[in-house]
Structure 1
Amino acid sequence: MASRALAVLGSTLTLACLPTLAQAQATVAQVFNGEMLGTNLRYFESIAGIARTSVGDVHSYRVQGCEISANAAGGTVSELRLQLSPSCKADLSSFIGTFAPPANKPLTFGAMSESSGGQLEFYADCLHLCGNAADPSVYALWQGPHAVNFTEVLLEAVLADDAAINASNQWSEAMQKTKGQDFVIDTRFNCERDFDEVANQSFKGVKVTAVTIGTELNKPGC
């Protein structure tokens, strides 16, 4: 009886450890991967492990020390987000093929624009009189063609370091000069594309702090 009880206990412990082992063994390349888009959340978590946190349909995971989140409305993964750092790099090739910038180099707005062969659409939470509650972010959207199933890439840069702040100031000043201060304060630029060229130039060398990939991605409005 004792040996049977130990066997049952061992089986129970093994099952309890499966999610932890899956999470520990998963790699960023396996989880932040184009093949994961459109999959069932249960399948996704069989690779990524159990979510650390969930807010509505957005579930967050830590994989190889990197923060990855999945939007899974209706139980299907529709978008993936990776927070970047020197040890957490994004390889976009599984999502958008040859449109992806080199994975072995830091991801910048300019690198994405160059590899995709097109101008990015720029958006921002706030650029002027933002307050001190939290650092705002600037976003750049790339909309893929039919060849990559119209996959979208949303690059993000938190306005916290000098390079990002200086770029945002250049973009803001160019808009204020033409459209006035209220245009920038009210973020009306988010619904106009007249200043994307200025933003592309200003943010060309700025490093991306997070990247989201999917379809019909949310972005700041006006």
Structure 2
Amino acid sequence: MTKTERAAYVLKRLNELYPDPPIPLDHKDAYTLLIAVLLSAQCTDERVNKVTPLLFARADNPTDMARLSVEEIREIIRPCGLSPMKSKGIAGLSRILLDQHGGEVPADMAALEALPAVGHKTASVVMSQAFGVPAFPVDTHIHRLAQRWGLTSGKNVVQTERDLKRLFPESSWNDLHLQIIYYGREHCTARGCDGMVCDICQTLYPQRKRAKKTRK
């Protein structure tokens, strides 16, 4: 198969398996999604979904969050890890949203990336899932699968994002990044598949004899 043919098969198969992929992080609006995605860095979605109800019971909007001290936020989100950095980021971005954006999350990539503790991937998730703007958030899991499937030779998530955006139609991006995440969790895990075990890996590379190691 050519790279284009592999991409077409991946898109077809994932649409069959996950025709309407849900957003795995519980939220009610752009602000709560932004906070949940920020908390998910180096933390499982399952754990985030256990912590956010406690946090949002105290503050589910920038005004109420800005009233909490960094220490109060940190104590609530501690189970998510990296709580010193995340708590400062949540407090800081809440104040910026109030001061510079009328208390609303901006539907603008540059403005989102300018917020404390908000990187490109977090901003991309918010743009795609809160505002419906085509974006292709790539984390280390998507990076790994894209390499296993021969869709990129990039050594980092930045190059992988560029490659995937070139291969797949823009209309598919918002669902596709979720579909890849779900497939990776269920079928092509870090330890459960080395590029030779799951259905997609076997279909794309039936003659592969050696494990596919991720280039980071």
Q: TM-score, normalised by structure 2?
A: 0.28
Structure of higher CA gyration radius: 1
Q: Which has the higher strand share?
A: 1
Q: Which has the higher helix share?
A: 2
Q: TM-score, normalised by structure 1?
A: 0.28
